[in-house]
């Protein structure tokens, strides 16, 4: 896999579950077919929307095996393998390599505070141990540890660290990732982890986005990228702006809970998020249903 293939709309695919909270592999395959049919450019398992934080290692191995087999090389498969410790991250990354992942997305360690030097050593050790392309993943609101732009610049010098996803919500931080890695001497893909910033990331020289909303509106999200590539900025802007009413529902609860509920509301039996992260108030459910009805009327899909 080349860095040039890391682009477009990559879906952090949700993990369908049965009523008893076991993984629904049959529905996972159906979701993969639905998303690839809509034109997405990559499938990413164990992201935030995939509930990677709550799946066991055995479940992750089974999900990745199903995904690799179902995708069958049509788009790249990204696996989230970041753990709190370097040792565990290496073990999970080697398992993902063994199961056929094309690239790794490695979130920063969480809970304990890490210095930037410790983060550099962590990523360098993983990159040395695993011969796969690595995407750095910055989401400090969830992990408590932020990847500074200077740290991303330094890590971009490692041969198989080939990109970074920024979910900080701070556009200046993302811009600095782009600006600083332009000088790393190789292609480096910067991806937006905030769905509202995908078009602006592309305009700034980024490669695309890892977009949770693509679980709900895959064709609409793909249109942001495809219209931009075709030079139709007006259409790209229309597609980008169209997801705002749905994203406004995130104020009612955990965003990945709302994304999964939305897919369920659209008629796909993906189940609920694993407890305790599966609740939404009556006001939130009403707002979600109204947003989905408006989206259908507007032709979003």
Contacts for 267 with CB less than 8 Å, ≥ 6 apart: none
Q: Kindly tell me the sign of the dihedral angle through the C-alpha atoms of 126, 130, 136, 139.
A: negative
Catalytic member of 137, 177, 180, 225: 137
Nearest to 51 by CA among 212, 230, 189: 212
For residue 190, give the H/E element and its range.
strand 189-192
**Catalytically annotated residue among 165, 177, 180, 225:** 165
Active-site residue, 165 included: yes
- 299's CB contacts (< 8 A; 6+ apart) are none
Q: Known binder of ligand: residue 210? A: yes
Crossing angle of helices 25-37 and 57-71, rounded to 10°? 40
For the chain, percent helix, then strand, then coil, each to nearest 5? Answer: 50, 15, 35
Active site members: 137, 165
Annotated binding site: 210
Annotated binding residues for pyruvate = 210
């Amino acid at each position: 896999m080349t860095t040039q293939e890391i682009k477009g709309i990559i879906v952090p695919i949700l993990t369908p579950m049965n009523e008893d909270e076991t993984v629904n592999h049959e529905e996972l395959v159906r979701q993969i077919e639905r998303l690839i049919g809509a034109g997405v450019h990559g499938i990413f398992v164990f992201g935030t929307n995939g509930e990677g934080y709550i799946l066991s290692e055995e479940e992750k191995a089974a999900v990745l095996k199903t995904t690799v087999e179902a995708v069958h090389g049509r788009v790249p498969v990204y696996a989230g393998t970041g753990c709190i410790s370097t040792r565990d991250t290496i073990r999970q990354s080697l398992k993902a390599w063994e199961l056929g992942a094309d690239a790794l997305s490695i979130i920063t360690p969480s809970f304990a505070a890490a210095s930037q030097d410790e983060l550099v050593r962590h990523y360098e050790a993983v990159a040395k141990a695993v011969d796969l392309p690595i995407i750095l993943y910055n989401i400090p609101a969830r992990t408590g540890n932020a990847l500074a732009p200077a740290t991303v610049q330094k890590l971009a010098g490692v041969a198989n660290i080939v990109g970074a996803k920024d979910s900080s919500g701070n556009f200046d931080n993302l811009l600095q990732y782009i600006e600083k890695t332009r000088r790393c001497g190789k292609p480096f893909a910067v991806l937006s982890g905030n769905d509202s910033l995908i078009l602006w990331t592309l305009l700034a020289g980024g490669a695309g986005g890892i977009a949770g909303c693509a679980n709900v509106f895959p064709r609409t999200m793909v249109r942001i990228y495809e219209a931009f590539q075709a030079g139709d900025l007006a259409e790209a802007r229309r597609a980008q702006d169209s997801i705002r009413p749905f994203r406004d529902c995130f104020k009612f609860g955990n965003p990945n809970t709302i994304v999964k509920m939305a897919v369920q509301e659209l008629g796909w039996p993906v189940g609920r998020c694993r407890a305790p992260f599966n609740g939404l108030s009556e006001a939130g459910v009403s707002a979600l249903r109204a947003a989905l009805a408006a989206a259908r009327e507007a032709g979003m899909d």
